[in-house]
Amino acid sequence: MRFSTLLPSATAATLLISAEARVVVPEEVQAANRLANRAFPANAPHGYTPQTGNCPSNRPTVRAASSLSPNETAWLEVRRNATLDPMRDLLSRLNITGLDTTAYINDHQNNASALPNIGIAVSGGGYRAMLNGAGVVEAFDSRTPNSTSAGQLGGLLQSTTYLSGLSGGSWLVGSLYSNNFTSIDSILAQDTDADNSGSLWQLGQDIFTGPATGGIQLLDSAGYYAALQSAVSDKDDAGFDVSLTDYWGRALSYQLVNATDGGPAYTWSSIAQQDWFTSGSTPLPLIVADSRVPGEILIASNTTIFTFNPWEFGSPDPTIYGYIPMEYVGTNFSAGTTRSDQCVTGFDNVGFVMGTSATLFNQALTVVGGANTTGLFPSALQAGITAVLSGLSSDDNDIADYPNPFYGYNNNTNPYAVSRQLTLVDGGEDLQNVPLHPLIQPLRHVDVVFAVDTSADTNASLPTNASATGWPDGASLIATYERSLNLTMENGTSFPAIPDINTFFNLGLNNRPTFFGCDPANQTGPSPLIVYMPNAPYVYNSNTSTYDLNYNNTERNAMILNGYNMATQGNGTLDSQWGTCVGCAILSRSLDRTGTPVPDVCTSCFDRYCWDGTTNSTQPENYIPAMKLEELSVTASGAGKLGLSLSAVLVSLMVSAVLI
CATH code assigned at 196 = 3.40.1090.10
Taking the model in full, what pTM does it have?
0.89
Tell me, yes or no, whether 604 lies in a domain: yes
Selection from 348, 441, 469 nearest residue 402 by Cα? 348
Q: How far apart, in whole angstroms, are the C-alpha atoms of residue 613 and residue 607? A: 12
- Residue 377 has a pLDDT of 53
Give the three-state DSSP class for 393: coil
Tell me, yes or no, whether 4 lies in a domain: no
For the chain, report the end-to-end CA distance as a whole number of angstroms.
33
The domain tally of the chain equals: 1
Tell me, yes or no, whether 98 lies in a domain: yes
Per the structure, the complete domain to which residue 258 belongs is given by: 9-535+543-659
Read off φ and ψ for residue 422, nearest 5 degrees.
Answer: -110, 120
Tell me, yes or no, whether 2 lies in a domain: no
Q: How far apart, in whole angstroms, are the C-alpha atoms of residue 314 and residue 307? A: 6
Q: Given phi > 0 = left and psi -120 to 50 = alpha, else beta, which region is 144?
A: beta
Sequence length of the chain is 660
- Residue 406 has a pLDDT of 97
- Residue 50 has a pLDDT of 97
Q: How far apart, in whole angstroms, are the C-alpha atoms of residue 539 and residue 565? A: 8
Tell me, yes or no, whether 215 lies in a domain: yes
Split the chain (660 residues) into runs of 10 and give each run's mean pLDDT. 34 30 33 49 91 95 97 97 97 97 96 95 96 98 95 97 96 96 91 54 80 55 81 93 88 86 92 96 96 68 91 96 97 95 96 88 55 55 58 58 95 93 85 95 97 90 73 96 89 93 97 95 86 98 88 94 98 97 98 97 98 95 94 72 40 33
What Å distances lie between residue 137 and 183, 415, 440, 564, CA to CA? 9, 37, 20, 8
Tell me, yes or no, whether 1 lies in a domain: no
C-alpha angle with apex 400: 395 to 401, nearest 5 degrees?
Answer: 75
